[in-house]
Structure formats: structure tokens, C-alpha cells
Chains A and B, each alone.
Chain A
Amino acid sequence: MEDERILYRLQACPFCERVVRVLDEHGVDYESRFVEPLHSERDAVRRVSGSRTVPVLVDPETGATLTESENIVEYVEKYYGEGEDPNTDGGGD
């Protein structure tokens, strides 16, 4: 199960929705994990990212764990943008 790409998100959080939009635009599959509005209730998020903010994207394909929607959008566009294949990055096969 943990080989899935996981997006930690909060319902109706605009930053999370922005990331969802970009993932969908690029046809990137992910599983959603919804967390609580209260920061203090978000230990699951802190364990993966070191902070309790969302969104957080955990991508086992690249081993990346990303926070901040700006960073995540940039990452998705870089690795999953048109004409690019993450598997060719870094000289892999």
C-alpha cells in the first residue's frame, strides 16, 4: 500500500486543491489522506514531513516528500510535466 503516491490534505484547503488540480492535469495518480483542521491533531503529517502543515506529497517513485503547495506544484511540473519522464532523470534507465 505504501508504494502509492500519497497526498495529505485538508478538505477545502485552497493550497491542497491547487495541488490536486495540478496532479490531475498531469494525470498523476495519488491516494488522498484527509487530516483534521486542528494542527495539533496532525501527528501523522508531522511524522512524514517534520511539520504539521498540509498539503504534503509523498512520492515513492522518486523518494521525495514535499511540503508547501508552491514546491509541490513545481515538482509535479518538473517530473511529470509534458515530455519528461522521471525515470530518465539522473541518468537511470
Chain B
Amino acid sequence: MELGFEVTQLPPHDAPEEGEEAPGFTRPLVNDEYWEDAALSDTVPALVVFYPMNGSFPATYIWQEVEERGWDDHETVVGVTASTPYSHRRFLDERDTDARLFADPSNGVAREWGVAHELDGMTGVEEPRPAVFYVDEGMTVRYAWVADEHPEFPPYDEIDGVVG
């Protein structure tokens, strides 16, 4: 993006790197009909997409790309953000995707993964910064990308190569 001025930098993150173990978690996992508690370890191998909360324009843009590129045709794709299960249900209703979404209103998963983002001007509200991981069946991170700027979008073409 050429804006003619400096884009806001995010502070350093502490996300798991390629080859490291992915932090496990259990949260309500929302599909197009219902939600139930699910462990990440029961959904891997999977592409794990951390994204800003439902309703934000980055959320819309990121999932439009996921849909258009058909990542969910090749891999299990799960999203994670600080929105409620009800919000996820509505978000999925608007999309044409087999992806499922973990509801993490406390943002605890993003914190555990080192990708939390406290929003300026929204006191007490935090969400994940955009980050994409490919986690294999042994819970090892095989691909990792984390946003360094606000806003920044995933390197979709690079991830196309991961998804295969």
C-alpha cells in the first residue's frame, strides 16, 4: 500500500515460530449451524487465521480473500477473533465458506499466541492482530506470518503456496 506517509507500526509480537509447538486451546467453535467447545488439537492440521473482530473492514477483506482463493477447499480453515459465537454465526451467514470460527471474546487465545492487539481509543477492548499459521497434525507450526503494521494484510500469494 503506497500512502505517502508512515503506517503505524505494531509493537514486537511473541508468536510461535515455524518449527515450534502451537499453543493449544479450547473455545466455542462456530459453524454454519451451531457451536460447541472444540480443542485446536482436534481440528489440526489446519490453517489458523487470527483476524480483527467481526464488523471491522480488515475482517471482511481477509475473509473475502480466503473465500475467493478457496483455501477451505484444500485445508481445514479456522478463524480466531474476539467476537461472540452469535456474532460469528451472523458473520458466517454472510459468507460462502466452510471455515469455522473460534469465539474468543476475552482475547485470551491471541494473548497466549503472542498476537494480542489493544485497540487505541477503545478502552478495554483488544483483539488479535492479523496472523496466519499452518499447524500440522502434531501441533507443530509449519508456517507463520504476523502483522507488523496497523493495518496489514496477510501475504495471500505466499499462503496459496502453503495451502497447496
Say yes or no: B85 contacts A34, CB within 8 Å.
yes
In the complex, chain B residues 18-66 whose Cβ is within 8 Å of any chain A Cβ: 28, 33-37, 42
Q: Which of B28, B34, B37, B42 is the one whose CB lies under 8 Å from A35?
A: B34
Please give 7 more A-B residue pairs, beta carbons under 8 A apart, in addition to A33-B35, A42-B33: A1-B42, A34-B28, A34-B36, A35-B33, A41-B33, A41-B89, A43-B33
Least Cβ distance of B30 to chain A in Å? Answer: 9
Q: How many residues of B contact A (CB 8 A)?
A: 10
Report B-chain residues with C-beta under 8 Å of the C-beta of A36: 34, 86, 89
Q: Count of A-B contacts with CB under 8 A? A: 25
CB of A51 within 8 A of chain B?
Answer: no
Does chain B have a CB within 8 A of A13?
no
Return chain A residues, CB-CB under 8 Å to B85: 34
- Residues of chain B touching chain A, judged by Cβ–Cβ distance below 8 Å, are 28, 33-37, 42, 85-86, 89
Can you report 21 residue pairs joining A to B where beta carbons are below 8 Å apart? A1-B42, A8-B34, A31-B36, A31-B37, A32-B37, A33-B34, A33-B35, A34-B28, A34-B34, A34-B35, A34-B85, A35-B33, A36-B34, A36-B86, A36-B89, A41-B33, A41-B89, A42-B33, A43-B33, A44-B33, A44-B34
Question: Which residues of A, 15-49, contact B by the 8 Å Cβ criterion?
Answer: 31-36, 41-44
Mostly, the A contact residues are: mixed
Interface size range of chain A in the complex: 10 to 19
A65 to chain B, nearest CB (A): 16
Nearest B-chain residue to A1, judged by Cβ:
B42
* CA gap between A8 and B33 in the complex, in Å: 11
Q: How far is the CA of A44 from the CA of B35 in the complex (A)?
A: 11
Contact B36 A32 (CB under 8 A): yes
| Distance, CA A41 to CA B35, complexed state (A) | 13
Q: What's the nearest-Cβ distance from chain B to residue A6, in Å? A: 8
